[in-house]
Amino acid sequence: MPLLFRCAAVAGCLLIGYSTVEGSMLYDASLNTSASAQGFTLGQNPPSGGASTATFNSDYTRIDSSGATGEQIGYFSLNPFAPAITHPGMLTVDAASGFTLNFNLMIEEESHVHGGRAGFSIIILDDNSKGMEIGFWDDEVFVYHDDTTGSLFTKGESAVFDTTTGMIDYELQVLGSSYQLKANGSKILTGAVRDYTAFSGPIDPYEYENFIFWGDDTGSASSISRLGSMEILASVPEPGTMMVLGGLLAGALARRRQ
């Protein structure tokens, strides 16, 4: 094997072996406090007088927009009207180095008047505003297209899956340009990481960095959902590992020039 490739292989192993994982629990229902008290910002449209509700107990936060298809309600990791106000536990995440979002979720019911919209969604974006928006129906889970994988915010890859059977442990793993979504340990979706920055609107969360939203963000669907917990994990390469990597590659390149 040529020296350059041997060094690259060793460096890759070092990166895998010596990166650390930083974790942060963003919401834990067992604390019996609201998601707002734990760092999220609740947003509603209309801001007052609407029929949608968000309540909590020691098992979950329950968002109910079932009586108001035209309304939106959900939790933001940063305040959309004051983006400097962020969830204190939100980590810097980067698809290139990898991150994982774990969440415990049940959809009690969901309805939509548009075949490409979902009454409950989770958005996660990294430090380059790349990530995905996952839509949940009562019998299907899908990811919205960006303008490179299809028409912007149309229904992308999907899986027939019953989201109503109980509190389900989801694990969203993102690494490089791809992702996979697991439900109770079984892979149900895989595909390309998205870039929704082509969207423009009065409030444009798709430009945010290190951002999470969960709730009903469309006026074309509604749902009742229960979220029991949410945790973010970020892969962080050790500084020493990066120095070793640089030394290995520099040495290999020097040898090739001789």
Quote the radius of gyration of the chain (alpha carbons, Å): 20
* CATH number of the domain bearing residue 131: 2.60.120.200
What is the amino acid identity at position 168? Answer: I
Q: What is the pTM of this model?
A: 0.85
- pLDDT (tens digit per residue) in 23-68: 999 999 999 999 999 999 999 999 999 999 999 999 999 999 998 8
Assess contact for 40 and 227: CB atoms under 8 A.
no
Assess contact for 78 and 224: CB atoms under 8 A.
no
Q: String of b and e for 105-143 (b: at least 16 CB within 10 Å)?
A: bbbbebebeeebbbbbbbbbbbbebbbbbbbbbbebbbb
The answer to whether residue 162 is domain-embedded is yes
Q: Which domain holds residue 29?
A: 20-238
Asked whether residue 153 carries a pLDDT value surpassing 70, the answer given is: yes
Q: Considering its fold, how many domains does the chain have in total?
A: 1
The answer to whether residue 253 is domain-embedded is no
> What pLDDT sits at residue 236?
77
- pLDDT (tens digit per residue) in 159-218: 999 999 999 999 999 999 999 999 999 999 999 999 999 999 888 999 999 999 999 999
**Structure-block tokens of residue 187:** 């892979």
DSSP 8-state code for residue 255: H
The answer to whether residue 1 is domain-embedded is no
